[in-house]
Structure 1
């Protein structure tokens, strides 16, 4: 079963953390699906990834285009991703099922404590995934830098 990393955002904005995780995933040679629950959230992430920062554009696309299968990073609200991801990143509480996590190199769940219900949803995902046998790690930035606080 693949590993599931939970990232508890307390300081950094979701788009900055996502960019870092995507850069590391691409450097590892992984294809990635970023799964959200709403088009509005994915629109914001899409714009942030297009605009970038001093490092520039991060290659990605939105699901529903003619080249979805070729995208190194595909932003989607659906469970099935045409780019055959090695890694799925959940944002805004999008669910990752245990059988899906088992087939991935890694699943990542980003949750922002400033969003209502985000911590509770992440806890429910932790319980469901670890009960199904997933190895999980909980990372928090509450101390000012990312630290692993728990693992199953």
Structure 2
């Protein structure tokens, strides 16, 4: 079973919070897949990752760029994993199938959006029933605090 962390964004946008988590993923020697809700979010996130300041360099790709097996971070609107990533970043509204193939899953959701919070609660119940190990993290002024 996978270890699934729910990351409740309360202070920043996804585009501001995600680079630090991805940087830690790369520092741990891992590869990541980021499942977006649609092609527009893939494009938006691609642009945001190129502009990230900390860490300064987040090498990544998507289907439009190609070279999937060589990409340490893969952006997708589907369930493809061409880079053999063991870490999955599941963005609010992203594809939720195939979770068992990942060691760690990071589910990020906007705490200021009642629908996103509701979807996260529903997913929490589903994956808990499936037997995954769960953790809840809430964004603080500086970093994340684990709750529960």
TM-score strictly above 0.5: yes
Paired with 1:51 and 1:144, the residues of 2 have a C-alpha distance of 21
Q: Which residue of 2 aligns with 1:114?
A: 112
RMSD (Å) for aligned C-alpha atoms: 1.7
Structure 2 unpaired stretches of 5+: none
Q: Is the 1:9–1:140 Cα contact (8 Å) retained in structure 2?
A: yes
State how 1:119-130 maps to structure 2 within 5 Å: 119-130=117-128
State how 1:64-103 maps to structure 2 within 5 Å: 64-97=64-97, 100-103=98-101
Structure 1 unpaired stretches of 5+: none
Given the superposition, is the C-alpha separation of residues 66 and 146 from structure 1 closer, same or farther in structure 2, using an over 3 Å criterion?
A: closer
Q: Does residue 57 in structure 1 map to residue 95 in structure 2? A: no
Q: Which residue of 2 aligns with 1:42?
A: 42
Q: Does residue 139 in structure 1 map to residue 117 in structure 2? A: no
Tell me the TM-score normalised to structure 2 length: 0.91
Secondary structure in 1 matching 2:34: strand
Aligned residues: 148
Deviations 1:22-58 (A, max 9, x none): 0011111111000011111221111111122264231
Paired with 1:143 and 1:44, the residues of 2 have a C-alpha distance of 25
Q: Does residue 12 in structure 1 map to residue 20 in structure 2? A: no
Pick from 98, 102, 105 the counterpart of residue 103 of structure 2: 105
Runs of 4 or more, structure 1, over 3 Å off, are 142-145
Paired with 2:112 and 2:39, the residues of 1 have a C-alpha distance of 20
**How far is 1:143 from its partner?**
6.6
Paired with 2:143 and 2:19, the residues of 1 have a C-alpha distance of 16
